[in-house]
Amino acid sequence: MANTTPAPGNSLQGRTAVVTGANGGLGQAIVYRLADLGWNVVPVDIVGTSRTLDVRDAQACRDLARDVQPDLWVNNAGVIGAGDAATQGDDVVERVVHTNLLGVINGTRAALDEMRQRDGGRGAGHIVNIGSLASWVPVPGEAVYGATKAGVLSYTLALVAELKLQGVTGVRLSVVCPDGMSTPMLTDIADDPGIALSFTGIRLTKPETVAARISTLLDKPKIVASVPRWRGAQVRILGAVPELSLPLAGLFNKVGAANQKRWAKSLNR
């Protein structure tokens, strides 16, 4: 796990960030990036971190937020649960939905409980929710995962509007939508045909690239950011015209499967 001691003399010293799912590939990259920038980072996960948190437990999220008083909360914890959406096990579906969507909602609400009262009710703080390019476009083989990520996007956008109407203008919310990443979420199941569409990009995105994009949002807040940006523009167009994207699903799956095969081979599978 990253050294979470802030850099001496850094202007961010004393500011606290919570990162969920911090024992995974992207979570660790975010922790390292924030620590390097001088944040006091509280990395949490169900295992592998000094402080544990199950994001499916709303009260545990509230307890953590109340204890550490975060200035930044990154809802990163997630699972993929690839498979046939119509027949995969109920336990898989529930785990994906409860972790990816309810976990984000729980973390966001917990952070807001502490952030919105600051600055005379105007609020202060930043919440970053990890979505996916699957937030924008249907992904056969990852239907439940994609549904949760679409939910993360929709929930965050609606909450931004609600807070503005309530005058809570000092709390920033962002959704970061990465392409398929070279993290254990994919690499551990690199030969699973159900995740072929995660490999349709030119290459898998590095978690460090996503972490760097998150860090730029702290200085220049933006509600939605895709990584890489060109892929975000591509899938948003396809997602807006399902009559175009759905007939092309077979072609995209073949491209992804070919890229996936090369990737799996590079891992000696």
pLDDT tens sequence across 58-113: 999 999 999 999 999 999 999 998 888 899 999 999 999 999 999 999 999 999 99
Which pLDDT score, from 0 to 100, does residue 183 have? 76
Which pLDDT score, from 0 to 100, does residue 59 have? 98
d(CA 158, CA 180): 25
Which pLDDT score, from 0 to 100, does residue 231 have? 78
More confident residue, 210 or 195: 210
3: pLDDT confidence band, cut at 50, 70 and 90? very low
d(CA 107, CA 98): 12
Which pLDDT score, from 0 to 100, does residue 235 have? 79
Phi, psi of 78 (to 5 degrees): -165, 160
> Could you give the domains of the chain?
16-266 (3.40.50.720)
pLDDT at 213 over 90: yes
Spell out the residues 6+ positions from residue 4 whose beta carbon is closer than 8 angstroms to its own.
31, 35, 39, 40, 41, 42, 43
pLDDT tens sequence across 34-62: 999 999 999 999 999 999 999 999 999 99
More confident residue, 140 or 13: 140
pLDDT at 6 over 90: no
The percentage of the chain sitting over the pLDDT mark of 70, rounded to a whole number, equals: 88
125 forms beta bridges with 171
Please say whether the beta carbons of 175 and 226 come within 8 A: no
Mean pLDDT, residues 215-226: 95
